[in-house]
Amino acid sequence: MIALTTIGLGVAGYLTYVHYSGATPVCSLKGNPCSQVQKSQYSELAGVPVALIGLIGYILILGSLLAREGELARFATTGLTLGGFGFSAYLTYRELFTLHKICEWCVSSAVIVTLLMVLSIWRFLRGDARPAGASPSSTGADELEHAPSVGAAHS
Amino acid sequence: MSGSRDDELEDDEGDLTRKQRREQARAQRKELEQAEAAGALRRARLTRLGIVVAVVVAVIVVILIATGGGSKKGIPKTAQAKNQTVTEVTALVGGIPQSGKLLGNPRAPVTLEYFGDLECPICKEFTLGALPSLLQQWVRSGKLRIEYRALETATREPEVFKTQQIAALAAGKQDKMWYFVELFYHEQGEEDSGYVTESYLQQLAGQVPGLNLTQWTADRNEPALASEVASDTEAANNAGFSSTPSFQLGKTGGTLRTFEPGTYTEPAPFNAAIEKLLKS
C-alpha cells in the first residue's frame, strides 16, 4: 500500500507541477487529451487545482499508513481512500461524459486509489492480528478510543 | 469398608466430571463471548464504513451539482439576452471576410485549421478563450485565416452531428458560417441533454445577422455539404486527431502541421507560433 501511495504521490505531484508551470503533460494519445483535460474548467475545484487536492490526499494517506498501526490509523486510511475513490469517480465521470477525453495520468491515479481503497477496506474489516478475544469485552468504539499498537505499519 | 471406598471413588469421578463440565461450559461461554465481541466489532466497523461511504457520496453529489452549472443554458430565453449574444458575436467576427468555412483574408500568409465539434465544451473554452485575441491581433490584420473543420467527439449521435454541421455549412453558403459557429458555442447547452433539435438550429439561424432563412433551409439539403462533413472527418483521421479542439498550422498553401497549444484560454502559444511562421 505504501508503494502504491508513493506512485500515486508521484502522479499527483507531476500533474500539480504541470498545472502551475503551464507545461504540456506527457501523453501517448494523439491530440494530447491529457492537456485538454488539464486545461479544462474541471481541472480546478473552487479555484484549487484538482491535482493539488490529489497530492494532499496521497500525502494524508501516506501519513495514515506510516502512523502506528491501530484501529484508528486503519480507519483513517479507509476514510481517506474512500474519499479519494469518490473524488476520482467524479473526475472520471467529468472526463468521460462531460469532456469526452481520457487522460492517462488521471486513469492511473484512479486505478491506484481504487486498489488502495479495496486494500484498506479489507485491512480495516480484518482488523489487527490479535483476535477480538484478547479483550473480549472490548467493542469497536473501545478499540477506537484505545487503539492498540502492534508495531510499525506495513503495506 | 470396601463399599465406602467404592462410594468415594464414584464421588471423585462425579466431581471430575462436574469439574470438566464446568470447564467445558466456561470455555463455551468464553468462545461465545469472543464470537459476540468479534461480531460486535465487525458490526461497528461496518457501521463506520457505511457512515464514511454516505458522507463521501453526499460530498460528491454536492460537487457534481456545484460544478454542473456553467454552460448549460442553451438558447437565451429573453430577446434582450439573445440580442446581447448577437452583439458579442458581431463584435468578434463582424467586418472580417468570410468565405464558406474560412474566416479572414483568403490570401493571409498563415492558415490555422480548427477541428471542432459544436457540442464540445473544450472547443467552447477555446472559442471564448484564446480565439477572440487571435481574431483581433492576427485575423483582422489579414495575417491569419482560420478554417473551421468538423470532427465528431462530444456529440453522441452521428446524425445530430451531421445535421448541426450541415446547418453551419449552409450558413457558410451565405458566408455567415462563423456567425453560426460562434453563436452555437456562445449558447452551447448542457451536454447529452438533447438540446440540439430542429427548433434549436432554427432559432440559432434566426440570430445570424442578415441570414436568408429560406435560402439557408434549402441549402441544408445539398448533398455537397454532407460530403464536406465526411471530408473533414477524413482529414482529421489522416492527421491522427481523435479529440477536439485540434489544430493544424502553417503557411498558407504549404504543409500544415499539427499544433498543440497546451492551453485553450491563453493566446500566447498561438501568438508565438504565428510570429515564427510570419518571420520564416
CA distances from B145 to A114, B41, B131 (A): 47, 70, 12
Instruction: State which H helix or E strand residue A44 sits in.
Output: strand A44-45
Q: What is the predicted pLDDT for the residue at B25?
A: 87
Q: Cα A132 to the chain's mean position, in Å?
A: 29
- Mean of the per-residue pLDDT values for chain A? 78
pLDDT at A146 over 60: no
Interchain contact B264–A (C-beta under 8 A): yes
Compute the distance between CA of residue A71 and CA of residue A144 in angstroms, rounded to an integer. 6
Q: What is the predicted pLDDT for the residue at B106?
A: 95
**Cβ atoms A44, A8 nearer than 8 A:** no
Interchain contact B37–A (C-beta under 8 A): yes
Q: What is the predicted pLDDT for the residue at B75?
A: 62
Q: What is the predicted pLDDT for the residue at B21?
A: 84
Percent of chain B having pLDDT more than 90? 60
Three-state DSSP state, A106: helix
Compute the distance between CA of residue A116 and CA of residue B118 in angstroms, rounded to an integer. 39
A40, A45, A85 member nearest B122 (Cβ): A40
Contacts of B41 in chain A (CB under 8 A): 127, 132, 138-140, 143
Three-state DSSP state, A135: coil
> In this structure, what DSSP letter does residue A137 have?
T
A29, A32, A42 member nearest B67 (Cβ): A42
Compute the distance between CA of residue A41 and CA of residue A23 in angstroms, rounded to an integer. 17
A32, A82, A90 member nearest B260 (Cβ): A32
**Packing angle, helices B121-128 and B177-186, rounded to 10:** 110
> In this structure, what DSSP letter does residue A103 have?
-
Q: What is the mean pLDDT of residues A15-40?
A: 75
pLDDT, tens digit (0-9, with 9 covering 90-100), for B25-45: 888 899 998 888 888 888 888
| B273 vs A36: which has the higher pLDDT | B273
Interchain contact B70–A (C-beta under 8 A): yes
One digit per residue, the tens of pLDDT, for chain B of length 280 reads 455 666 665 666 666 687 888 888 888 899 998 888 888 888 888 998 899 899 999 998 988 888 764 444 456 667 777 788 899 999 999 999 999 999 999 999 999 999 999 999 899 999 999 999 999 999 999 999 999 999 998 888 888 999 999 999 999 999 999 999 999 999 998 776 778 888 889 999 999 999 999 999 999 999 999 999 999 999 999 999 988 999 999 999 999 999 988 888 889 999 999 999 999 8
All three cell numbers of B205 = 439561424
Shortest CA distance to A32 belongs to which of B240, B126, B127?
B240
Per-position DSSP letters for B44-99, written without gaps between them: HHHHHHHHHHHHHHHHHHHHHHHHS-SS-B-S-SSHHHHHHHHHHHHHHHTTS-EE
Per-residue b or e along A136-154, where b marks 16 or more CB atoms closer than 10 Å to that residue's CB: bebebebbeeebbeeeebe
pLDDT, tens digit (0-9, with 9 covering 90-100), for A70-85: 888 999 999 999 999 9
Instruction: State which H helix or E strand residue A115 sits in.
Output: helix A104-126
Three-state DSSP state, A153: coil
CB pair distance less than 8 Å for B260 and A99: no
Percent of chain A having pLDDT more than 90? 38
CB pair distance less than 8 Å for B240 and A124: no
Percent of chain B having pLDDT more than 70? 90
CA distance B61 to chain A (A): 9
Interchain contact B263–A (C-beta under 8 A): yes
pLDDT, tens digit (0-9, with 9 covering 90-100), for A85-139: 999 999 988 888 777 778 888 899 999 999 999 999 999 988 764 443 344 334 4
Interchain contact B126–A (C-beta under 8 A): no
Q: What is the predicted pLDDT for the residue at B119?
A: 92
**Packing angle, helices B198-207 and B79-93, rounded to 10:** 60
Q: What is the predicted pLDDT for the residue at A46?
A: 81
> In this structure, what DSSP letter does residue A24 have?
P
Residue recorded with cell 470447564: B23
Compute the distance between CA of residue A88 and CA of residue B100 in angstroms, rounded to an integer. 43
Per-position DSSP letters for chain B, written without gaps between them: -HHHHHHHHHHHHHHHHHHHHHHHHHHHHHHHHHHHHHHHHHHHHHHHHHHHHHHHHHHHHHHHHHHS-SS-B-S-SSHHHHHHHHHHHHHHHTTS-EETTEES-TT-SEEEEEEE-TT-HHHHHHHHTTHHHHIIIIITTTSEEEEEEE--SS-S-HHHHHHHHHHHHHHHTTT-HHHHHHHHHHT-B-TTS----HHHHHHHHHHSTT--HHHHHHHTT-HHHHHHHHHHHHHHHHHT--SSSEEEEEETTS--EEE--S-SS--HHHHHHHHHHHH-
